[in-house]
Amino acid sequence: MKGWLPRRTLPVLMYHRIGPCPGGDRQLWVSEETFARHLRWIRDRGLRALSLDEAYECFRSGTPDKKAVLITFDDAFAETLDTAAPWLQKLGMRSTVFVPAGLLGQTVALSSEAGTHATASEGRIVDDQGLRRWVEAGQEVGSHSLTHQDLTTASFETASSEAARSKQLLEEVLDRPVLDFCYPFAHHNAAARRAVSEAGYRSAYAGEPPTEDLFALPRMMVFPGDTEQRYARKLSGYYYWISAWHGRVSQGGPR
């Protein structure tokens, strides 16, 4: 019967923007009030927010900590880090931001998969100094490529450069190793995984469903409309299984 039981997976939460949504893709924005409430839910459930080293060890060993979560952010917009860092410090939690290193300090409109203005994410990416402040506040940094390019549509040479140059730039800014990667749009294929591995990373985060590949680690996006019940499912470690089961039952996609 053991094979029929769902396998618990370390919950890895994916946030993008914290604050009031001024425009663009509203699904990327979680209010500061909601974010603070999420952190309190984590604390009140006795969960510990992991470092990247701790999360890597959970995935490498295949034995996830039953009272742990990894909190992550994509894109490194300055206002999100400025808003999130004080709450994380106040509640004694760690988190990781995945940074498109070639865009540091720039004002950008990151395209979404749909590629329309209505779904773009606009704002200023944190600069070198802001990223160092983030680390000084006890938070961590991973790579999100150089220019936020979909590595599955790039040549292998471009994907390799996106992965390697991002690592190099972040390590120069922070004067410390950057060992973990996150695919833009969560898109990856064999070539992208190879490019990231050969660039010297130890792991790479993607999306659903979970796999045992250290270069296709799972994450769950946090949406502004997530109810407390759905957020609790995401923290449970069984969300991927519940999501897949719900999709099969309803004959729709996973929620």
Domains and CATH numbers, the chain: 2-248 (3.20.20.370)
Q: What is the pLDDT of residue 65?
A: 86
What is the rounded distance in angstroms from the CA atom of residue 115 to the CA atom of residue 131? Answer: 27
| pLDDT given for residue 64 in this prediction | 83
pLDDT of 240: 80
DSSP structure string for 102-125: GGTT-EEEE--SS--GGG-EEEEB
Residue 192: C-alpha distances to residues 114, 145, 183, 239, 251 (Å): 21, 11, 9, 26, 31
User: What does the pLDDT read at residue 48?
Assistant: 96
Q: Are strands 12-15 and 220-221 parallel, antiparallel or unpaired?
A: parallel
- Our CA angle for 242, 98, 79, nearest 5°, is 105
Q: What are the φ/ψ torsions at residue 3 (nearest 5 degrees)?
A: -65, -20
Helices assigned H by DSSP within 45-77: 52-61
End-to-end CA distance of the chain: 27
Predicted confidence at residue 243, as pLDDT, reads: 67
Facing residues of 73 across strands? 15, 97
Q: d(Cα 96, Cα 56) in Å, to the nearest integer?
A: 13
Q: What is the pLDDT of residue 113?
A: 63
Parts of the chain with a pLDDT under 70: 1-6, 112-119, 243-255
What pLDDT shows up at residue 1?
33
